[in-house]
Amino acid sequence: MTWIAQGHGWLAAPEDIVAALSKDGFEECKRELTTSRRDLRPAGGVWQGVNPRSGSVASVIWVTRPAGHQAIVFIDVDGESLNADHGHSAVGRDPYHGEGGEG
C-alpha cells in the first residue's frame, strides 16, 4: 500500500484492504462493483463494513487502473479519511477507548 499524494489515495489491491479491515473486526455490509467500460470489466467498487464490537464504520472506494492488479483506493473509518498523515492508525480503533473516546 503506497500513498499517492497527487491522487489523494492509496495504490493498493482492494482485496488486501478489505482483508485487513476484516481481520480488524469489520464485517461486510455492502459490496458493489461498478461497470462502465466497454469491455465490462469493473471500473471500480465500494465496500462498507461495521465493527460490531466498537460500532466503527469503514468505507473503501476504489478506481481500477488500466494495467496491474492495484487500484487507487480511498479509505474512510468513522468519517475520517486514512491518508499518509494518519497511516493505519484508525483501522481497528475503538472509538470508546483511548484517544478522544469515553474510556
Residue 95: inside a domain, yes or no? no
Residue 88: inside a domain, yes or no? no
Residues 6 or more apart whose CB falls under 8 angstroms from that of 4 comprise 10, 11, 72
Name the domain count of the chain. Answer: 1
Residue 27: inside a domain, yes or no? yes
Distance CA 100, CA 94 (A): 10
What is this structure's pTM?
0.75
CA-wise closest residue to 26 among 89, 91, 102, 98:
91
Residue 34: inside a domain, yes or no? yes
Distance CA 65, CA 28 (A): 24
Residue 99: inside a domain, yes or no? no
Query: pLDDT for 45-89, tens place per residue?
Result: 999 999 999 999 999 999 988 776 789 999 999 999 988 876 544
pLDDT of residue 41: 72
> How would residue 40 be classed by pLDDT, with cut points 50, 70 and 90?
low
